[in-house]
């Protein structure tokens, strides 16, 4: 029997890369989408993750469970702390967008670059990296950069400019790091352009997230 996965999004541009990742990595999964495209505007207006925004994230997770989902995958890293709260309110697995990618980044080196197109995402992912490193007893250095113009281009349908701006910023970041994380699902499409510019490993969230969620939900039951 196929597993039912609910994807929760804050921006429409996150849908194509994660749906493609499921198509390639777990086509048997039954996937549906929840979108609250007012969340990023609220985050900007309110200056951070206020209690009303956290409640919206939690409400989405609770609703997803009520639809009969076997698992939940969030796709927008800017709301990661709220996802930790949402996890406490449901009984099914909840995967944050960058958990699997963070583990891979820590395996890759101590100097980690985080590149985002939504500025609020970069410090949140940096904090997640530091916390995960501390759990391993590892000391890391995180370099962050944001390219909001790339997100504007993507929202306007100019994918070529989106990819080019990310690749250019990655080229500036690469000499100072051992690995670069493209911090948002919507950035995964730029990976080939980035790889053409830099020599360090480039990590993206969607494929890693799908592989981890599949492993969690299809592992044999223990007796």
pTM for this prediction: 0.76
In this predicted structure, what is the pLDDT of residue 221?
60
Q: Count CB-CB contacts under 10 A for residue 196.
A: 10
pLDDT tens digits, 172-198: 999 999 999 999 888 989 999 999 999
* Sheet with strand 4-9: strands edge to edge: 30-35, 4-9, 71-74, 94-95
Q: What's residue 207's pLDDT?
A: 85
In this prediction, residue 223 carries a pLDDT of 47
Show the domains of the chain with their CATH numbers.
4-96 (3.40.50.1860), 99-207 (3.40.50.1860)
pLDDT tens digits along 4-46: 999 999 988 889 989 999 999 999 999 999 999 999 899 989 9
Tokens of 137: 């007893």
């Amino acid at each position: 029997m196929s597993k039912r996965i609910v994807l929760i999004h804050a921006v429409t541009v996150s849908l194509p890369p994660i749906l493609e990742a499921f198509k390639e990595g777990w086509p048997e999964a039954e996937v549906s989408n929840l979108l609250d495209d007012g969340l990023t505007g609220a985050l900007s207006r309110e200056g951070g993750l206020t209690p009303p925004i956290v409640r919206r994230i939690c409400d989405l997770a609770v609703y997803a469970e009520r639809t009969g989902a076997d698992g939940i995958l969030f796709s927008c890293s800017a709301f990661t702390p709220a996802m930790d709260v949402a996890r406490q309110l449901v009984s099914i697995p909840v995967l944050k967008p960058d958990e699997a990618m963070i583990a891979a980044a820590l395996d890759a080196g101590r100097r980690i670059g985080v590149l985002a197109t939504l500025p609020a995402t970069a410090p949140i992912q940096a904090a997640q990296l530091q916390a995960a490193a501390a759990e391993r007893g590892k000391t890391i250095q995180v370099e962050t950069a944001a390219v909001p113009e790339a997100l504007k281009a993507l929202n306007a349908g100019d994918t070529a400019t989106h990819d080019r701006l990310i690749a250019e910023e990655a080229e500036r970041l690469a000499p100072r790091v051992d690995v670069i994380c493209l911090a948002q699902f919507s950035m995964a499409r730029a990976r080939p352009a980035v790889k053409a510019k830099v020599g360090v490993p480039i990590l993206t969230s969607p494929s890693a997230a799908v592989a981890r969620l599949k492993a969690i939900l299809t592992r044999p039951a223990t007796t």
